Amino acid sequence: MTDTLAMLPSGIDTYRQPVVYMHEDCHICRSEGFAAETRIRVDLRDRWIIATLNVVARGQWLAVEKAALSVSAWEALKAQAGDRARFSHPEPPVSSSAIRAKAYGGRLKREDFAAIIRDTLDNRLSDLDLAAFITASAGNRLDEGETVALTREMQAAGETLDWGSEAVLDKHCVGGLPGNRTTPIVVAIVAAAGHLIPKTSSRAITSPAGTADTMEVMAPVALDAAALRKVVEAEGGCVVWGGGLNLSPADDHFIRIERPLDFDSTGQLVASVLSKKAAVGATDVLIDMPVGPTAKVRSAQAAASLGSRLSSVGQAIGLRVAIHESDGTAPVGRGIGPALEAADVLAVLRRAPGAPTDLRERALDLAGRLLDLAPGAESGEGRAQAETLLDTGAAEAKFLAICAAQGGFHEPGEAPQRIAMTAGVSGYLTAIDNRLIARIAKLAGAPRQQRAGVRLLVRVGEGVEKGQPLYEIHAETTGELAYARVYAEAHIGALTLSEDTA
């Protein structure tokens, strides 16, 4: 066959974008008219991918009648050196017209979303196409019916777990509040109370840490569906990474594009959250929604609008959704970044002296409301029950049992590079800008570097002296530490000090 080439691994890591390297004199490039950046279908046995072509000049590392693959392309095809693959033009993605219609402000139908999700999972859509779909859905550009359709199709594209139980509880926090890592505590309390709470979490999208990133510091989170079921059957609860399952598989593709674009979409957010809740088999979902001027949800109006969309879409797909608005004006706990947040979680579960009381209170509020949602619960009793389970150490024991069931508990460590940022004036700390402080933590390396981030040393409302440390930046490398520090010094508005004139 003249349309096949022997393949080799290029060893080039292009992250998730599959790339195929061909020699500029390769006969297939000539006969098929392939040029740099052409999208090419590569077939090997029963697997195929769509990859982007990079053309290698003669005299370089690639032989003329060979094709090399990027790391992710090689893995996706499960190729062996010397395998001959077939190279062809892919069919145009059928969902392009739906994305175009949405960009022009049109309304999509269920089959349009199904086509977009199918083409996304088949990698037929380029990153540009996905960026267009995300942008065309930004803000409030998906209406309720579209959001229901997207949610259903995202769920239908993956597996759905069935627990054979009347009530399966779940929670979700609409992000944007650094350090708000209540989930491991809430799961421990609710599971200790004897309820089912098979919690899946995501890694950070635009924040310095997702719950999965924080949990991963303490225990393995990349479990498959069978392993998740074993943990939940044994302990009642778990905190695992949703991306290791196949619950709403298109979501990871959307998130990969949303992350660098760094903007939100109500419809995408609702579909992302609820498709995964439905797929995990939840019946009752509590949504924690921190509201504040620099949080993800910035006003009571935005909270009401998002809450009502979550409830109505939940109802349409058969999920009971309760909304818990919380204070989103400042970070929660002290740590921002996976390991720093894990340390806060453990301090609360262990009732350590100095454990952040705001994190404890928030976790108790949420656990209490979840316990009240459970069938047969006496409404209003949940908060007291949650407090008892935490204070007796039952929640701590349950958390350690869950970690053990997930593969073993690890104590978080501290990053080697640290620097304290100090107050330029004496005064009171009146505000912390969530977005700026999160940005500093990200520049320090979070969440990619587990131990990187920010540790707050002062709470809003406290007085400080000029020169007193306000927070520490933690990093794995001096380069990242310097980069975060330069940004912090240029953005001292991350913390607002009102001068002490008393």
Non-local (6+) Cβ contacts of 33 within 8 A are: none
> How far is the C-alpha of 147 from the C-alpha of 268, rounded, in Å?
7
Instruction: Please say if 112 is a catalytic residue.
Output: no
How many residues sit close enough to a second copy to count as binding (CB under 8 A)? 61
> How far is the C-alpha of 273 from the C-alpha of 257, rounded, in Å?
17
Instruction: Report if residue 103 touches a second copy, rule: CB under 8 A.
Output: yes
Instruction: Report if residue 63 touches a second copy, rule: CB under 8 A.
Output: no
Instruction: Report if residue 82 touches a second copy, rule: CB under 8 A.
Output: no
Q: Are 364 and 387 in contact (CB under 8 A)?
A: yes
Instruction: Report if residue 293 touches a second copy, rule: CB under 8 A.
Output: no
Four-CA torsion 202, 484, 332, 320, nearest 10 degrees: -20
- Nearest approach in angstroms of CB 408 to a second copy is 27
Instruction: Report if residue 301 touches a second copy, rule: CB under 8 A.
Output: no
Catalytic-role residue among 129, 264, 344, 372: 264
From 167-175, 242-250, 322-330, 443-451, give the range in contact with a second copy by CB under 8 A.
443-451
HEC readout, 306-320: HHHHHHHHHHHCCCE
- Nearest approach in angstroms of CB 468 to a second copy is 29
Give CA 452 to chain center in angstroms.
17
Nearer residue to a second copy within complex by CB, 323 or 452: 452
Instruction: Report if residue 175 touches a second copy, rule: CB under 8 A.
Output: no
Nearer residue to a second copy within complex by CB, 135 or 434: 135
- Nearest approach in angstroms of CB 179 to a second copy is 21
Which residues within the stretch 217-256 sit at the binding site for a second copy (CB under 8 A)? Answer: none
Instruction: Report if residue 480 touches a second copy, rule: CB under 8 A.
Output: yes
Give me Rg for the CA atoms of the chain.
25
- Side-chain half-sphere of 429: how many Cα atoms within 13 Å? 25
Neighbours of 386 (CB within 10 A): 27
Non-local (6+) Cβ contacts of 81 within 8 A are: 7, 8, 9
Q: Which of 61, 384, 416, 430 is the binder for a second copy (CB under 8 A)? A: 61
Instruction: Report if residue 344 touches a second copy, rule: CB under 8 A.
Output: no
Instruction: Report if residue 147 touches a second copy, rule: CB under 8 A.
Output: no
Instruction: Report if residue 304 touches a second copy, rule: CB under 8 A.
Output: no
- Nearest approach in angstroms of CB 479 to a second copy is 4
Non-local (6+) Cβ contacts of 428 within 8 A are: 461, 462, 463, 464, 497, 498, 500
Q: Are 495 and 429 in contact (CB under 8 A)?
A: yes
Q: Which of 81, 82, 164, 262 is the binder for a second copy (CB under 8 A)? A: 262
> How far is the C-alpha of 455 from the C-alpha of 419, rounded, in Å?
10
Instruction: Report if residue 305 touches a second copy, rule: CB under 8 A.
Output: no
- Nearest approach in angstroms of CB 13 to a second copy is 4
Token pair, residue 212, equals 């999965």
From 138-146, 157-165, 174-182, 229-237, give the range in contact with a second copy by CB under 8 A.
138-146
Nearer residue to a second copy within complex by CB, 61 or 350: 61
Nearer residue to a second copy within complex by CB, 443 or 470: 443
- Indicate the residue type of 381: E
Strands (E), 234-346: 237-241, 284-291, 320-327, 335-336
- Side-chain half-sphere of 1: how many Cα atoms within 13 Å? 9
Instruction: Report if residue 312 touches a second copy, rule: CB under 8 A.
Output: no
Q: Which of 1, 15, 162, 353 is the binder for a second copy (CB under 8 A)? A: 15
> How far is the C-alpha of 318 from the C-alpha of 304, rounded, in Å?
21
Query: Which residues are catalytically annotated?
Result: 264
- Residues at the interface with a second copy (CB under 8 A): 10-15, 17, 21, 24, 30-33, 35-37, 54-61, 70-71, 89, 96, 100, 103-105, 126-129, 131-132, 134-136, 138-141, 257, 260-263, 443, 445, 448-449, 475-480, 483
